[in-house]
Amino acid sequence: MLLVGGWQIAEGGYIKAKVWLAQYLLQSAWETARAGGERVRPWPWADTWPLARLQVPRLGVDQIILAGASGRTLAFGPGHMAGTAEPGAAGNSVVSAHRDTHFRFLQQLQPGDRLELVTLKGARLSYAVASAEVHDKSELWLLDQGQTLLTLITCYPFDAWLPGGPERFVIRAVPLERPILPFAASPGNSPGDRQRVYL
Protein backbone atom coordinates (compact mmCIF):
# COMPACT_ATOMS: atom_id res chain seq x y z
CA MET A 1 0.00 0.00 0.00
CA LEU A 2 2.86 2.36 0.81
CA LEU A 3 4.46 1.58 -2.56
CA VAL A 4 1.24 2.32 -4.45
CA GLY A 5 0.73 5.55 -2.51
CA GLY A 6 4.32 6.60 -3.12
CA TRP A 7 3.98 5.83 -6.81
CA GLN A 8 0.79 7.94 -7.07
CA ILE A 9 2.46 10.89 -5.31
CA ALA A 10 5.55 10.59 -7.52
CA GLU A 11 3.44 10.48 -10.68
CA GLY A 12 1.47 13.55 -9.61
CA GLY A 13 4.73 15.37 -8.87
CA TYR A 14 6.14 14.36 -12.27
CA ILE A 15 3.10 15.74 -14.10
CA LYS A 16 3.29 19.05 -12.21
CA ALA A 17 7.02 19.30 -12.88
CA LYS A 18 6.42 18.61 -16.59
CA VAL A 19 3.75 21.34 -16.78
CA TRP A 20 6.02 23.82 -14.98
CA LEU A 21 8.96 22.99 -17.26
CA ALA A 22 6.82 23.34 -20.38
CA GLN A 23 5.61 26.78 -19.29
CA TYR A 24 9.19 27.84 -18.52
CA LEU A 25 10.34 26.69 -21.97
CA LEU A 26 7.39 28.43 -23.67
CA GLN A 27 8.23 31.68 -21.87
CA SER A 28 11.88 31.32 -22.89
CA ALA A 29 10.87 30.69 -26.53
CA TRP A 30 8.59 33.76 -26.41
CA GLU A 31 11.44 35.99 -25.19
CA THR A 32 13.81 34.62 -27.84
CA ALA A 33 11.23 35.16 -30.58
CA ARG A 34 10.58 38.71 -29.35
CA ALA A 35 14.32 39.38 -29.63
CA GLY A 36 14.21 38.59 -33.34
CA GLY A 37 14.00 34.83 -33.69
CA GLU A 38 11.47 33.25 -36.02
CA ARG A 39 9.54 30.07 -35.25
CA VAL A 40 11.43 29.49 -32.02
CA ARG A 41 10.50 26.00 -30.88
CA PRO A 42 10.23 25.67 -27.09
CA TRP A 43 11.89 22.22 -27.19
CA PRO A 44 13.70 20.46 -30.06
CA TRP A 45 10.88 18.07 -31.03
CA ALA A 46 8.06 20.65 -30.70
CA ASP A 47 5.85 21.16 -33.77
CA THR A 48 4.69 24.57 -32.51
CA TRP A 49 6.11 27.94 -31.52
CA PRO A 50 4.88 31.18 -29.86
CA LEU A 51 2.91 33.58 -32.06
CA ALA A 52 1.41 36.11 -29.64
CA ARG A 53 0.24 36.68 -26.07
CA LEU A 54 -3.38 36.84 -24.96
CA GLN A 55 -4.09 38.89 -21.83
CA VAL A 56 -7.35 39.60 -20.02
CA PRO A 57 -6.59 42.30 -17.43
CA ARG A 58 -9.84 41.90 -15.45
CA LEU A 59 -9.25 38.18 -14.90
CA GLY A 60 -5.46 38.23 -14.62
CA VAL A 61 -5.11 35.94 -17.65
CA ASP A 62 -1.78 35.93 -19.53
CA GLN A 63 -1.25 33.10 -22.02
CA ILE A 64 1.08 32.45 -24.93
CA ILE A 65 -0.73 31.65 -28.19
CA LEU A 66 0.98 28.85 -30.09
CA ALA A 67 1.09 28.05 -33.80
CA GLY A 68 -1.39 25.35 -34.81
CA ALA A 69 -4.31 23.78 -32.98
CA SER A 70 -3.38 20.10 -32.86
CA GLY A 71 -4.02 18.04 -29.73
CA ARG A 72 -0.30 18.16 -28.91
CA THR A 73 -0.27 21.95 -29.11
CA LEU A 74 -3.44 22.44 -27.07
CA ALA A 75 -1.92 20.40 -24.25
CA PHE A 76 0.43 23.34 -23.61
CA GLY A 77 -1.64 26.42 -24.45
CA PRO A 78 -4.11 28.11 -26.79
CA GLY A 79 -3.48 27.36 -30.46
CA HIS A 80 -3.95 29.55 -33.52
CA MET A 81 -6.02 27.84 -36.22
CA ALA A 82 -4.17 27.60 -39.53
CA GLY A 83 -5.91 29.33 -42.43
CA THR A 84 -7.19 32.20 -40.29
CA ALA A 85 -5.56 35.62 -39.89
CA GLU A 86 -2.36 35.73 -37.85
CA PRO A 87 -2.95 37.16 -34.36
CA GLY A 88 -3.03 40.94 -34.68
CA ALA A 89 -3.41 40.97 -38.48
CA ALA A 90 -6.45 42.14 -40.43
CA GLY A 91 -9.08 39.43 -40.72
CA ASN A 92 -10.59 36.90 -38.36
CA SER A 93 -7.91 35.41 -36.09
CA VAL A 94 -9.24 32.18 -34.54
CA VAL A 95 -7.70 30.69 -31.40
CA SER A 96 -8.84 27.52 -29.64
CA ALA A 97 -7.99 25.82 -26.35
CA HIS A 98 -9.38 23.25 -23.93
CA ARG A 99 -12.41 24.21 -21.84
CA ASP A 100 -10.99 22.65 -18.66
CA THR A 101 -7.55 24.30 -18.80
CA HIS A 102 -6.45 27.36 -20.77
CA PHE A 103 -9.89 28.53 -21.96
CA ARG A 104 -11.84 27.76 -18.80
CA PHE A 105 -11.91 31.52 -18.17
CA LEU A 106 -14.07 32.12 -21.27
CA GLN A 107 -17.19 31.43 -19.23
CA GLN A 108 -16.30 34.42 -17.00
CA LEU A 109 -16.03 36.95 -19.81
CA GLN A 110 -18.62 39.72 -19.93
CA PRO A 111 -19.73 42.09 -22.70
CA GLY A 112 -17.18 44.85 -23.14
CA ASP A 113 -14.35 43.00 -21.36
CA ARG A 114 -11.01 44.09 -22.75
CA LEU A 115 -8.73 41.51 -24.35
CA GLU A 116 -5.13 42.43 -25.10
CA LEU A 117 -3.14 40.80 -27.88
CA VAL A 118 0.64 41.31 -27.82
CA THR A 119 2.43 40.41 -31.05
CA LEU A 120 6.02 39.23 -31.44
CA LYS A 121 6.88 42.68 -32.83
CA GLY A 122 5.70 44.28 -29.60
CA ALA A 123 2.40 45.72 -30.83
CA ARG A 124 -0.36 45.73 -28.20
CA LEU A 125 -3.84 45.49 -29.70
CA SER A 126 -7.01 45.90 -27.67
CA TYR A 127 -10.28 44.10 -28.37
CA ALA A 128 -13.67 44.24 -26.67
CA VAL A 129 -15.84 41.17 -26.13
CA ALA A 130 -18.89 41.64 -28.32
CA SER A 131 -20.61 38.27 -28.12
CA ALA A 132 -20.57 34.82 -26.57
CA GLU A 133 -22.53 32.14 -28.37
CA VAL A 134 -22.93 28.38 -28.43
CA HIS A 135 -22.53 26.88 -31.90
CA ASP A 136 -22.41 23.44 -33.43
CA LYS A 137 -18.88 22.37 -34.35
CA SER A 138 -20.00 22.05 -37.99
CA GLU A 139 -20.53 25.83 -38.33
CA LEU A 140 -17.31 26.52 -40.20
CA TRP A 141 -18.49 29.98 -41.26
CA LEU A 142 -17.14 31.10 -37.87
CA LEU A 143 -13.70 30.96 -39.51
CA ASP A 144 -14.70 33.33 -42.34
CA GLN A 145 -12.20 36.13 -42.96
CA GLY A 146 -14.43 39.05 -43.95
CA GLN A 147 -14.30 41.02 -40.71
CA THR A 148 -11.38 41.83 -38.41
CA LEU A 149 -12.10 39.85 -35.24
CA LEU A 150 -10.51 37.85 -32.49
CA THR A 151 -12.47 34.61 -32.18
CA LEU A 152 -11.88 32.30 -29.19
CA ILE A 153 -13.34 28.78 -29.35
CA THR A 154 -13.58 25.96 -26.82
CA CYS A 155 -15.73 22.89 -26.26
CA TYR A 156 -19.09 23.28 -24.51
CA PRO A 157 -20.56 22.77 -21.95
CA PHE A 158 -17.74 23.57 -19.54
CA ASP A 159 -18.79 20.94 -17.00
CA ALA A 160 -19.23 18.05 -19.47
CA TRP A 161 -17.86 14.69 -18.35
CA LEU A 162 -16.70 13.58 -21.78
CA PRO A 163 -14.20 15.47 -23.96
CA GLY A 164 -15.21 16.89 -27.31
CA GLY A 165 -18.92 16.83 -28.05
CA PRO A 166 -20.86 18.62 -30.80
CA GLU A 167 -21.05 22.12 -29.27
CA ARG A 168 -18.55 24.96 -29.12
CA PHE A 169 -18.52 28.07 -26.93
CA VAL A 170 -17.44 31.00 -29.09
CA ILE A 171 -16.27 34.43 -27.97
CA ARG A 172 -16.10 37.13 -30.63
CA ALA A 173 -14.13 40.28 -29.88
CA VAL A 174 -13.74 43.36 -32.06
CA PRO A 175 -10.84 45.83 -32.24
CA LEU A 176 -11.42 48.79 -29.92
CA GLU A 177 -10.24 51.17 -32.63
CA ARG A 178 -13.48 50.44 -34.49
CA PRO A 179 -17.07 50.72 -33.31
CA ILE A 180 -18.61 47.60 -31.79
CA LEU A 181 -21.18 46.37 -34.28
CA PRO A 182 -23.43 43.32 -34.28
CA PHE A 183 -22.24 40.44 -36.43
CA ALA A 184 -24.00 39.72 -39.67
CA ALA A 185 -25.27 36.15 -39.88
CA SER A 186 -23.47 34.12 -42.50
CA PRO A 187 -25.60 32.87 -45.43
CA GLY A 188 -27.71 29.95 -44.26
CA ASN A 189 -27.14 30.78 -40.59
CA SER A 190 -29.97 32.80 -39.15
CA PRO A 191 -29.80 33.99 -35.52
CA GLY A 192 -32.31 31.28 -34.65
CA ASP A 193 -29.78 28.62 -35.65
CA ARG A 194 -27.59 29.35 -32.64
CA GLN A 195 -27.97 30.20 -29.00
CA ARG A 196 -27.05 33.82 -28.32
CA VAL A 197 -25.74 34.39 -24.82
CA TYR A 198 -25.24 38.14 -25.19
CA LEU A 199 -24.24 40.81 -27.63
> What pLDDT was estimated at residue 22?
83
Q: Which pLDDT tens digit goes with each residue over 22-37?
A: 889 999 999 999 998 8
Asked if pLDDT for residue 180 goes beyond 50, the answer is no
**Top-level class of domain 2-198:** mainly beta
Residue type, 54: L
What is the full DSSP assignment across 8-46? Answer: HHHHHHHHHHHHHHHHHHHHHHHHHHHTT-SS--SSTT-
> Cis link prior to 191 (omega < 30° from 0)?
no
Domain extent listing, the chain = 2-198
Which of 34-38, 49-53, 168-172 is predicted least confidently?
34-38
Scored b (16 or more CB within 10 A) or e, 3-17 reads eeeeeeeeeeeeeee
In sequence order, which residues have a C-beta less than 8 Å from that of residue 104 and are 6 or more positions away?
98, 158
Asked if pLDDT for residue 116 goes beyond 80, the answer is yes
The partner residues of 117 in beta bridges, in order of sequence, read 54, 125
- Per the document, the length of the chain is 199
Residue type, 53: R
